[in-house]
Amino acid sequence: MIKKLTILWAFTALAAGTATAQDIEPVNTLFDTSAWIELVTIDPGIQLDLKYATTDNFVKEKLYDCPRCFLRSDVAMAVRNVQKDLRRKGYGLKMLDCYRPLPIQWKLWNKVPDPRYVADPRKGSMHNRGSAVDLTLVDAQGKELDMGTPFDFFGQEAYHDYTNLPKEVLARRTLLKETMIKHGFRSTRTEWWHYSYTKRSYPISKMEWPCDGKGK
Which residue from 194, 197, 204, 207 is in contact with Zn ion, where contact means CB under 5 A?
194
Task: Give yes or no for a contact between 4 and 30, defined as CB atoms under 8 angstroms apart.
Answer: yes
- Amino acid identity of 193? W
Locate the DSSP E strands across the chain.
4-6, 8-9, 30-32, 36-38, 47-48, 70-72, 91-97, 132-139, 185-188, 191-197, 207-208
Is there a catalytic annotation at residue 157? no
Task: Give yes or no for a contact between 140 and 91, defined as CB atoms under 8 angstroms apart.
Answer: yes
Stretch of 33-41, 56-64, 145-153, 190-198 lying at the interface with Zn ion (CB under 5 A): 190-198
Where in 69-128 is the site for Zn ion (CB under 5 A)? none
Where in 129-168 is the site for Zn ion (CB under 5 A)? 134
When CB distances to Zn ion are compared, the closest residue is: 194
Residue 40 or residue 135: which is nearer to Zn ion going by CB?
135
Q: Is 47 exposed, middle or buried (0-12, 13-18, 19+ CB in 10 A)?
A: middle
Measured from the CB of residue 97, what is the shortest distance to Zn ion in angstroms? Answer: 6
Measured from the CB of residue 11, what is the shortest distance to Zn ion in angstroms? Answer: 26
Residue 9 or residue 117: which is nearer to Zn ion going by CB?
117
In the set 38, 61, 191, 208, the catalytic residue is: 191
Q: Which residues are catalytic?
A: 191
Binding footprint of Zn ion on the chain (CB under 5 A): 134, 194
